[in-house]
Amino acid sequence: MEEEARLDRAFAALSDPTRRAILRRLSAGPATVNELRAGAALSQPAISKHLKILERAGLVEQGRAAQFRPRRLRRDGLGPAARWVKEMGRLWDGSFDRLEAYLGVIGVEETKGEDRGDPPKRETER
């Protein structure tokens, strides 16, 4: 149950565009609250609130550089499952794009055949 609550927090954290923007910024390197504020045009309390949500979700952690405590991404936050999702997206988004393009070629032939009342070109037509 506790694990479930943690997962809910992680995905709730990712569902907000401002927090995704913060993650995107942190993916380029650690940043302090002030640096994040400058990029996001938000008040300091607002940024702190978003950071707290990201930290509770286990996606961001605080560094120890003196009083500025820059925030950074946690490397173990999503891990291999994230790579899996990325690979799947690359495979199937790419495949569907290619399929669409390929149908453009094949589809023309098929339509021509049907217009002329030709029999199907392949016996495997079901």
Partner 1 sequence: MSAVEAAGDMPVFRIERRFAAKPSLMWRMWTEPEHVMNWFGPKGSTNVLIEHDFRVGGHWQGRTESPGMPPMFGLFVFRAIEPEIYLEWLHGFGDGAGRFVPAPFGPDIPAFITRVWFLPDGDGVTVRLTWTPHEPSAAEIEAFRKMTPGMTGGWTGSFDALDAYLAGL
Q: Which residues bind partner 1 (CB under 8 A)?
A: 3-4, 7-8, 10-11, 14-15, 20, 23-24, 26-28, 59, 73, 75, 77-103, 106-107, 110, 122, 124-126
Contact criterion met (CB below 8 Å) for 84 and 44: no
Residue with tokens 């809910």: 8
Q: Which is nearer to partner 1, 45 or 51 (CB)?
A: 51
Q: Which is nearer to partner 1, 45 or 98 (CB)?
A: 98
Name the minimum Å distance from CB 101 to partner 1: 8
Name the minimum Å distance from CB 109 to partner 1: 10
Helix (H, G, I), strand (E, B) or coil at 77: coil
What are the DSSP calls for 30-57, one per residue? -B-HHHHHHHHT--HHHHHHHHHHHHHT
Name the minimum Å distance from CB 105 to partner 1: 9
Side-chain half-sphere of 110: how many Cα atoms within 13 Å? 8
